[in-house]
Structure 1
Amino acid sequence: MEASMTSLATAPSFDPAPTAHVITSDEEAVALARSLAVEFAAEASERDRTRHLPAAEIDRFSSTGLWAITVPKAYGGAEVSFATLAEVIKIVSAADPSIGQMPQNHLAALDAIRASASEEQKKLWFGRVLKGYRLGNAFSEAKSRHVGAFETTIRPEGDGYVVNGEKFYATGALFAHYIHIGAVDPHGKVHLAIVPRDAPGLTITDSWSGFGQRTTASGNVSIANVRVDPSGVIPAYLGGENPSSNGAVSQIIQAAVDAGIALAAVEETIRFVREHTRPWIDSGQEHGHEDVFTIAQIGDLKIRLQAAEAVLEEAGKAIDRIVHQPTDDNVAETAVKVAEAKVLTTEIAILATNKLHELGGTRTVLGQHNLDRHWRNARTHTLHDPVRWKYFHIGNHVLNGVRPPRHAWN
């Protein structure tokens, strides 16, 4: 499917001066997520089919206060458990994983602000987020040597800073009020440079042509001599040089999206098999849901899904334990636990979306059902962080006591 090349000038309209409810508890956050999921699921297939960008849905999502649930209590937020955050993202992603992925970089930026920003910066940015303002990603680059090698630069100029570069995979940027740009200073240190979406020299283009996660608008951001106020320059490198929760927070959200995709696929398989699937000729049964091999594989899927969900919850609780008292050892243990969740959620997302077609039969590939969107979303999103390296870091820690590297992809 070709990208529509939506630019900032033709971006979908959203509320430029938002207001948001302030959530006060974990229970309220989960309840709101469940309510939103019903709304978002209703048109999810059609949005995928037509690549209709969910601007109104994103406004609705952030207006509930769910984009601010990790703001610390000291700054007016709910500071929910990261297990709760993972549950919220999973629930929304089961309804529409493009919408579920949208807050990932926003929430990762909030954790970088919590860990590395000045007191004045925390009050400023947490206050804006509680009002409903959204941060959009301009972090990864498509042309650099590897995902962590940035060519985008930030340098001091006058009473502020100037940023130059080009970004891709900019999920959420097209729907954001502010863009946080990952850039290296003259010493090679990575900062977040937060600027208004309409800052002169900043161009956001929806050039995303991926076959999955079609409505994330994960295209590119061009940055030409964009000026940054000092209040928007966050020394994000401190979250890697010192033990922090930054990488684990970024990763658990990715795992939660995959868990949501898997959950939707398993539920869709059960529904389709019961309502549409014929029994195989050799089964001797009247209905597809009586096929003994289908029954057994549904059981296998359910077990694997529940295992992934359980480890995802454990990973969230592990992050809770390091937020305020991070040490090298407990950050490493948490990184391993989150990596385990990433492995299990990746595997069940790919398996469940594949089994949807195998167990549902040939009818599942008909265009009228658009069920291939689940597999396309799983295959696309799980590429974000290769689990082959998760296996290595888990094994190297368990066998040799080697701590996983500290960065946004661990």
Structure 2
Amino acid sequence: MPTPESSSPVSRLPRPPDPARVRRIADDAEALAAAYTLAAAFAAGAAERDRQRRLPWAELDLWSESGLGGITVPREYGGADVSFATLAEVFVILCEADPALGQIPQNHFGVLGLLREVGMPAQKARLYGEVLAGKRLGNAGPERRSANAKTILQGTTRLSATSDGLRLDGRRFYSTGALFAHRVPARATDDEGRAVQVWVPRDAPGLSVIDDWSSFGQRTTASGTVTFDQVPVDPQDVLPIWQLADRPGLFGPASQLIQAAIDQGIAQAAVADTLRFVRERARPWVDSGLEHATDDPYIIADVGRLQIDLHAAHEVLQEAGHTLDAIAAQPIVDTEASARASVAVAEAKVLTTRIALEASEKLFELAGSASTRAAHNLDRHWRNARTHTLHDPVRWKLHLLGNYHLNHVLPARHSWN
């Protein structure tokens, strides 16, 4: 089997879902129930998938059939249109079971948020219909900075009008979910210098998805490279995201809410394994005079602290979801409301990042040296936490919060705020 570093472009395409097998979820309660059912199936093989880097093709087919991919589709288009609080909890549940598998749909919901804000009615009807039929959306991630660019925001992916129609060219990386997707939305610049998003079918000629993801954590997200080489583009598959530049909205906070939920799931898994290992395998320290590690007063106190921090992070995450729900219910999302949403999610992201790292590191201190054995693969919690929390640095979340509360500087509007 080739290593990720030596892989060539992957030719395997995702299996088209059978619409007859795809469930149509009706409401928030059904969405949560479906998430718990999938989590039970995903948890059983999570450690081995991480150990072997076995990509979760079969598990993602189950995800498609569960109907969870359509839970944010508006009701007028046939979806459940669940709350942001429910969406966050779905990710917590799935990521406690397997955070790499749970992270894969993050961009699916991120691009659906963009479709909601800038899509034309005909685009929405067609693309929402595909999603409700079980199709998965990936993402062609960011670009490496060009030698001629002053900032990382100046991209080189281009959508150009040619005599043969629209063509897309570029190279992206960190493309979580693209390998498994039925469509691969990508940000590009059009001939007028405007930002657009192109929803490219996975089997389009000239599109290559390369499985070169080799991180030590979140190993099975397949967050590798995507290249576009004169890919033909249907004009109906182009979203004018340049319109969002001066329009307050919730697409950024919604994306960050999911990121925070992934970290919360990692933290909950780490704490659960800590309790299990201390109860079943840990030995008390020789000077304690105790028979069981569960009687060690220092371990007991540390477990209490972990539970407080875990609970606090989860509550603030849910509070952030409710904040987004309240703002979304208003007739207009104005500049101040958009800023409040970003602030609420930033607070959650700080706490979920900290507890994910704290819990996954504290596991070994409390469980003892036996917990470091490779057979247990408990280091995956820390590897996953450390990898995922690097997506958007907490130091900038703290800066966002301080600048807002001290100077009332509103956060920049983009997918990371």
User: Normalising TM by the smaller chain, what interval?
Assistant: over 0.9
Tell me, in whole angstroms, the C-alpha distance in 2 between the residues paired with 1:305 and 1:147: 34
> Which residue does the alignment assign to 1:81?
83
Equivalent residues of 2:10, 2:211 under 8 A apart: no
In structure 2, give the amino acid aligned to 1:137. N
In structure 1, give the amino acid aligned to 2:258. I
Q: CA RMSD in A?
A: 1.6
> Which residue does the alignment assign to 1:320?
325
Q: What is the CA distance between 1:7 and its match in structure 2?
A: 4.9
Does the alignment pair 1:123 with 2:138? no
> Which residue does the alignment assign to 1:53?
55
Q: 300, 305, 311: which one pairs with 1:306?
A: 311
Does the residue aligned with 2:184 lie in a helix, a strand or coil?
strand
Equivalent residues of 2:10, 2:210 under 8 A apart: no
Q: What is the CA distance between 1:158 and its match in structure 2?
A: 4.6
1:368-379 correspondence to structure 2 within 5 Å: 368-379=375-386
1:167-182 correspondence to structure 2 within 5 Å: 167-182=172-187
> Which residue does the alignment assign to 1:3?
4
> Which residue does the alignment assign to 2:277?
272
Does the alignment pair 1:219 with 2:224? yes
Tell me, in whole angstroms, the C-alpha distance in 1 between the residues paired with 2:232 and 2:310: 46
> Which residue does the alignment assign to 1:261?
266
Q: Show CA shifts across 1:259-285 (max 9, x none).
A: 000000001000000111001122221
How many equivalent pairs are there? 409
Q: Show CA shifts across 1:196-224 (max 9, x none).
A: 11111111001000000000111000111
In structure 2, give the amino acid aligned to 1:130. L
Does the residue aligned with 1:211 lie in a helix, a strand or coil?
coil
1:255-404 correspondence to structure 2 within 5 Å: 255-323=260-328, 325-404=332-411
Does the residue aligned with 1:181 lie in a helix, a strand or coil?
strand
Equivalent residues of 1:89, 1:257 under 8 A apart: yes
In structure 2, give the amino acid aligned to 1:343. V
> Which residue does the alignment assign to 1:63?
65
Tell me, in whole angstroms, the C-alpha distance in 1 between the residues paired with 2:46 and 2:265: 14
Tell me, in whole angstroms, the C-alpha distance in 1 between the residues paired with 2:370 and 2:124: 53
* Distance change >3 Å, CA 317–CA 84, structure 1 → 2: same
Q: What is the CA distance between 1:336 and its match in structure 2?
A: 0.3
Q: TM-score, normalised by structure 1?
A: 0.96
Q: Using the TM superposition, name which of 310-319 and 148-157 deviates more.
A: 148-157
Tell me, in whole angstroms, the C-alpha distance in 2 between the residues paired with 1:44 and 1:149: 38
Tell me, in whole angstroms, the C-alpha distance in 1 between the residues paired with 2:79 and 2:378: 38
In structure 2, give the amino acid aligned to 1:357. F
In structure 1, give the amino acid aligned to 2:127. W
Q: 142, 150, 160: which one pairs with 1:155?
A: 160
* Distance change >3 Å, CA 237–CA 317, structure 1 → 2: farther
Does the residue aligned with 1:138 lie in a helix, a strand or coil?
coil
Does the residue aligned with 2:167 lie in a helix, a strand or coil?
strand
1:99-110 correspondence to structure 2 within 5 Å: 99-110=101-112
Tell me, in whole angstroms, the C-alpha distance in 2 between the residues paired with 1:128 and 1:247: 23
> Which residue does the alignment assign to 2:16?
16
Does the alignment pair 1:210 with 2:225? no
> Which residue does the alignment assign to 1:134?
136
Q: What is the CA distance between 1:178 and its match in structure 2?
A: 0.8
Tell me, in whole angstroms, the C-alpha distance in 1 between the residues paired with 2:45 and 2:17: 26
Tell me, in whole angstroms, the C-alpha distance in 1 between the residues paired with 2:105 and 2:59: 12
Tell me, in whole angstroms, the C-alpha distance in 2 between the residues paired with 1:7 and 1:179: 19
| Ranges in structure 1 where 5+ consecutive residues have no aligned partner | none
Does the alignment pair 1:39 with 2:44? no
Q: What is the CA distance between 1:111 and its match in structure 2?
A: 0.4
Tell me, in whole angstroms, the C-alpha distance in 2 between the residues paired with 1:314 and 1:75: 28
Q: What is the CA distance between 1:160 and its match in structure 2?
A: 4.2
Equivalent residues of 1:258, 1:378 under 8 A apart: yes
Does the residue aligned with 1:173 lie in a helix, a strand or coil?
coil
Q: Using the TM superposition, name which of 280-289 and 353-362 deviates more.
A: 280-289
Q: Show CA shifts across 1:210-269 (max 9, x none).
A: 000000111000111111101110012323320111101111111110000000000100
Q: Show CA shifts across 1:332-386 (max 9, x none).
A: 0010000111111000000000001111111111011000001000000000011
* Distance change >3 Å, CA 264–CA 3, structure 1 → 2: same
Does the residue aligned with 1:244 lie in a helix, a strand or coil?
coil
In structure 2, give the amino acid aligned to 1:82. F
> Which residue does the alignment assign to 1:238?
243
> Which residue does the alignment assign to 1:29?
31
In structure 1, give the amino acid aligned to 2:18. P
* Distance change >3 Å, CA 296–CA 147, structure 1 → 2: farther
Does the residue aligned with 2:245 lie in a helix, a strand or coil?
helix
Equivalent residues of 2:145, 2:155 under 8 A apart: no
Q: What is the CA distance between 1:319 and its match in structure 2?
A: 1.6
Q: What is the CA distance between 1:289 and its match in structure 2?
A: 1.1
* Distance change >3 Å, CA 5–CA 18, structure 1 → 2: farther
Does the residue aligned with 1:346 lie in a helix, a strand or coil?
helix
Tell me, in whole angstroms, the C-alpha distance in 2 between the residues paired with 1:262 and 1:148: 32
Q: What is the CA distance between 1:9 and its match in structure 2?
A: 4.2
Q: What is the CA distance between 1:119 and its match in structure 2?
A: 0.9
Q: Show CA shifts across 1:151-204 (max 9, x none).
A: 211122357421111000011011011110111123432211011111111110
Q: What is the CA distance between 1:46 and its match in structure 2?
A: 0.4
Runs of 4+ in structure 1 deviating by more than 6 angstroms, as ranges, are none
Q: What is the CA distance between 1:294 and its match in structure 2?
A: 0.7
In structure 2, give the amino acid aligned to 1:302. Q
Tell me, in whole angstroms, the C-alpha distance in 2 between the residues paired with 1:186 and 1:400: 39
> Which residue does the alignment assign to 1:198?
203
* Distance change >3 Å, CA 2–CA 143, structure 1 → 2: farther
Q: What is the CA distance between 1:322 and its match in structure 2?
A: 3.0
Q: What is the CA distance between 1:139 and its match in structure 2?
A: 2.6
Does the residue aligned with 1:151 lie in a helix, a strand or coil?
coil
